[in-house]
Amino acid sequence: MERTKVTNLIKSDHPIENVWVKGWVRTKRDAKSFSFIELNDGSCLKNIQIIVDETIDNYDAVKKITTGAALAVRGKLVESKGGGQQWEIQASQVDVISLAPDTFPLQKKRHSDEFLRSIAHLRPRTNKYGAVFRIRSELSFGVHQFFRQRGFRYIQTPIITGSDCEGAGELFRVTTLNPSMPTPPAGKFDFANDFFGTESNLTVSGQLSAEMFALALGDVYTFGPTFRAENSNTSRHVAEFWMIEPEMAFCDLTGNMELGETLVKHLIQFTMDHCSQDMELFARFVDKQLMPTLDNIVSSDFERLPYKDAVDILQKAKVSFSYPIEYGLDLQSEHERYLTEKHLKKPIIIYDYPKTIKPFYMRLNDDEQTVAAMDILVPRIGEIIGGSQREERLDVLERQMETAGLSKDSYWWYLDSRRYGTVPHSGFGMGFERMLMLVTGVTNIRDVIPFPRTPGTIDF
Ligand code: 4AD
Ligand code: MG
């Protein structure tokens, strides 16, 4: 007989003579002649209640069971007489796979997110984090489903690379050189002796590679880890995160905005359709406004606002911001959140940013001052998507690279794509963790990542 997952058992529409479940004890309560055990096997939020009668052979061993122990239970699935659950198991056999001494940190009480972060190896055994990571799993499938339904091809772009797509210099260097070597004078470091014979780093974005494939396969996307050595300790930034990057040939900025809006709505709807039990936990205990917020996003037309209008609105706002607002400065998270949460109360797509604050690859607009960039901002998160139409004109791209101080030699392959059969194309990046924060209401990005990496923290 195969073990049955609790998620399937609780959906049963009839009693079952023989069931076999395996899982971990959440709580145990002893009555006069029997014990109640709440067993969780991780397959869903719900526990299955097990009734163990004292007549069972190894009742002495059963008595030693405490929270955290691992069990295999055989028995009968019967309708529960107690409230709170439809089914329970009357055990005929309880095998204690292992016990957990009372030093097990997850005893029955509410633990703070901060404490649980310090035991990130055990936190998926709690209701909340079990739910987070089941949703994370489902939602990754939702991402692939979205693109597959639309004929996009999945491209795996390199994690180790020699280029800096965003040009922000937040790179993690990859090297096999001995760190105890004396540091050479500035500028004299010889990467010729390094593994790749040149400087290399962990990717900050798969975009440049994805563009090459869009210009061959049409519509493509990447979905993989990206790395940024941003030394900012915020609740929305981590050093290692997953990004979804679609790239579309023959597509302009408007098409790009449409795809971004559709993707956000699809992923929210997907989570509602496939993770309702887990989402209920977040709607009850994490963010009471979760469902109205998500319904609002799914049902609204995202507002499209040129950057300069956004700056106007912010300058007129009767709010004091910590960071200055001026045409030509990047919008900070407080500005973005004001626009989407307070001013328009729905998602916004800000577009046509000044070229001076955006990377070299974005398409220069006819005004020669702005580029065809777009960021999608959503309530509670701020920026969830950043993208653009790409500069497909070789001469303009070369000029932008010169201004950015990039070497045309090292980007020869990227320039080739503009030399041979270049076409208008567009794409964007969506932060997967920010999407997870949105659908769960979790406010710290560290709490939607199994083992988060932030400045000064690489435990687990
Ligand atoms: O806006 P970004 O930097 O855009 C790019 O990297 C483009 N090359 C993408 C493209 O056009 N193909 O990053 C895209 C998204 C952001 O909107 C945000 O959701 C997320 O990635 N992101 C981060 N998430 C967590 N931690 C960080 N440090 C992040 N930096 C960006
Ligand atoms: Mg961005």
The pTM of the full predicted model, rounded to 2 decimals, is: 0.96
Residues 306 and 200 in one domain: yes
Does 106 map to a domain? Answer: no
Does 117 map to a domain? Answer: no
Residues 214 and 360 in one domain: yes
Residues 82 and 128 in one domain: no
Does 455 map to a domain? Answer: no
pLDDT value of residue 108: 80
Name residues of the chain where pLDDT drops below 50: none
Residues 33 and 131 in one domain: no
pLDDT value of residue 185: 67
Is the CB of 222 inside a 6 Å radius of any atom of ligand 1? no
Does 454 map to a domain? Answer: no
Residues 205 and 339 in one domain: yes
CATH value at residue 190: 3.30.930.10
Residues 155 and 271 in one domain: yes
Residues 145 and 203 in one domain: yes
User: Which is the closest atom of ligand 1 to the Cα of 384?
Assistant: 19
CATH value at residue 29: 2.40.50.140
Is the CB of 386 inside a 6 Å radius of any atom of ligand 1? yes
Residues 138 and 81 in one domain: no
Does 54 map to a domain? Answer: yes
Specify the residue with its C-alpha closest to ligand 1, atom 4: 386
pLDDT value of residue 168: 81
- Return the ligand number nearest the Cα of 376: 1
pLDDT value of residue 167: 84
Does 107 map to a domain? Answer: no
* 157, 202, 221, 243, best to mutate for ligand 1 pocket (most atoms within 8 Å of CB): 243
Specify the residue with its C-alpha closest to ligand 1, atom 9: 429
Does 115 map to a domain? Answer: no
* Domain encompassing residue 347: 123-447
Asked if 74 and 18 count as a contact pair (C-beta separation under 8 A), the reply is: yes
pLDDT value of residue 250: 98
pLDDT value of residue 409: 92
Residues 259 and 398 in one domain: yes
Residues 83 and 128 in one domain: no
Name the domain count of the chain: 2
Does 116 map to a domain? Answer: no
Residues 176 and 301 in one domain: yes
Residues 128 and 85 in one domain: no
